[in-house]
Amino acid sequence: SLEMVASAINEVEGVSAYIMTFSGAGQPYRIVVQSDETGTENAITIDTSGLTGVGDPIMVARTQTAADASLTINGIGITSGTNYLDEVLPGLSMTITEASGVPFDLLVSVDTTATVDSVTAIVDSYNEIVNFYNAQTVYDPDSGMRGDLVGETGARRVMDGLSGTISSGYGLTGIYDSLAAIGITTNTSDGTLSIDTDKLTDSLNTSFDDVMALFTSEDGPMATLRADIDGLYVDEDSGT
Tell me the average pLDDT of the chain.
83
Indicate whether 238 pLDDT > 70: no
Contact 7, 31 (CB under 8 A): no
Distances (CA, A) of 75 to 49, 72, 230: 45, 6, 50
pLDDT (mean) for 105-121 = 87
Q: Tell me which of 72 and 28 has the higher pLDDT.
A: 72
Q: Tell me which of 123 and 238 has the higher pLDDT.
A: 123
pTM of the model: 0.57
**Phi, psi of 5, deg, nearest 5:** -65, -45
Indicate whether 54 pLDDT > 60: no
Indicate whether 26 pLDDT > 90: no
pLDDT of residue 205: 92
pLDDT of residue 197: 94
Integer Cα distance of 140 and 229 in angstroms: 30
Contact 126, 226 (CB under 8 A): no
Instruction: Tell me 224's DSSP state.
Output: H
Q: How far is CA 128 from the centre of its chain?
A: 23
Strand 184-186 to 92-95 pairing: unpaired
Q: What are 132-169's pLDDT values in tens digits? A: 988 888 888 888 888 888 888 878 887 888 888 888 88
Q: Tell me which of 26 and 160 has the higher pLDDT.
A: 160
Neighbours of 203 (CB within 10 A): 20
pLDDT above 90 coverage of the chain, percent: 17
Integer Cα distance of 37 and 47 in angstroms: 20
Q: What are 34-49's pLDDT values in tens digits? A: 888 888 888 888 877 7
In degrees to the nearest 10, what's the CA dihedral of 132, 138, 149, 135?
A: -10
pLDDT (mean) for 9-32 = 81
24 confidence band (pLDDT: 50, 70, 90): low
